[in-house]
Structure formats: structure tokens, C-alpha cells
Amino acid sequence: EMQVVESGGGLVQPGGSLTLSCAASGFSVTSNYISWVRQAPGKGLEWVSIIYGNGDTYSIDSLKGRFTLSRDTSKNTVYLQLNSLRAEDTAVYFCARGSYGSFDPWGQGTLVSVSS
Amino acid sequence: QSALTQPASVSGSPGQSITISCTGSSSDVGNYNLVSWYQQHPGKAPKLMIYEGIKRPSGVSNRFSGSKSGNTASLTISVLQAEDEADYYCCSYAGNNIYVFGTGTTVTVL
């Protein structure tokens, strides 16, 4: 069974950093792509970034330079490093396996709260 | 990249059919057959319901169907059931390795 599990969320002060993890099982991150999607409290889904099986990464323009994707193939895990965090980055961050231009399965999400 | 436009809410009685629209542009919905739909119950992770515009993943009820015309994709839920009450989001590939979600639609079963 394919599964992804996020971790690493928490409370961080404005300007701070946090690294989220997305541990994959049942498939390899080297032959699949994984996306991060976030959802601010009471708001809709926002696509954030993607890392392909070959390691190439892409993010929405508004987040480039602050959010960085990486991976550890030995752990079959993808990471999203969040820098220079702002209050508006407060959200549940989901990771999901990509396939046929869609995302499935999704993890349960990890909450990032940016507040002083 | 602007969010795709969905109606904020759609409602129907049990047994009825409803359709949720998802309007984009010739840069996303209109240019790629890569529209997907997600169901999200409160406090839960989204669940894939439709991919490539019209295909259902294994395990998804055949009461859910997708279609597309021009820059607008649609999700139809037939024989509406109480368990279908949830938020629904469309998503489209927008080129240059970027994806965009819709604004979301709350489905209420009356």
C-alpha cells in the first residue's frame, strides 16, 4: 500500500525556519513525483511545490527563494524547508504522491503556525 | 497563476444530481487533459475522486464523473448521498511544472 506521512510542523516565530518531512512507503521517491500542498485555516488548497523522481524541483513563484525542496533517497523521504516564515504561511502542509497529473495518496498533514 | 474558479456552494437533495464547475483559462484547464478533483471532509486529508478529467481511481463510486468543455471542467455527483457532503476542489496542470487548485466548493445535502 502506498502511503506518505508528514512530520515536522510546529509553532515558529516570524522570520524563523522549519523543515517538514514527507516519508514515503510502498513506492520510491526516485521513480515518482511528490507535491506539497498547503491549506490555511478555513481556506482552500494551495499548490506549493513539486519534486520529480530525477530530483528536479519547482515551486510557485511567490514562494521561490523561501521554500526549498530536497530529498534523502536512502530514507525515501522528501523535505520542504521553510525559511523567512510569515504569518500568512500558517497552514496545514500536506504532501502527496503525484501520478497522471493528480495527487494520491495524501498524508494527514502537518500544521505550521507562525506567530510571535 | 490565479486559482481556478468554482462556485462557493452547491446543494441538492438525496438522490438528486449536482454539478460543480471549475473554470480556468487556455493556459491550464483548456490546454491540458490533466484536471483532477478532490473530496475533503472536515479535518481530513483530500481524497482523489477524478484524474485526467474523466477517469475514476479504483474504489471511487461511479456516481462521480468528470467532464470538460473548453476552459471549464465539471464534476457531477449523481444519486446524491449524505456522505457526499464535503468540500470539493479541482486542480489543473498549468504548464512549466506548476499546478493550480480551484477555489473550492462546499456541497450540502439537504
The pLDDT score that the predictor gives to residue B81 is 97
pLDDT-derived band at B58 (thresholds 50, 70, 90) equals: very high
Q: What is the mean pLDDT of the segment spanning B26-45?
A: 97
C-alpha closest to that of B93 among B44, B45, B31, B50: B31
* Ramachandran angles phi, psi of A62, nearest 5°: -65, -15
Nearest to A104 among B3, B57, B102 (CB): B57
- pLDDT higher than threshold 90 for residue A78: yes
The pLDDT score that the predictor gives to residue A65 is 85
Alpha carbon B99 to its chain centroid, in Å, reads 14
Is the Cβ pair A44, B55 closer than 8 Å?
A: no
Return mean pLDDT, chain B: 97
In percent, how much of chain B has pLDDT > 70?
A: 100
pLDDT-derived band at A102 (thresholds 50, 70, 90) equals: very high
pLDDT tens for A14-71 read 999 999 999 999 999 999 999 999 999 999 999 999 999 999 999 998 887 899 999 9
The pLDDT score that the predictor gives to residue A25 is 97
Nearest to A109 among B45, B96, B103 (CB): B45
The pLDDT score that the predictor gives to residue A63 is 86
In whole angstroms, give the CA distance from residue A101 to residue A89.
Answer: 25
Q: Which residues in chain A are contacts of B89 at CB distance < 8 A? A: 44-45
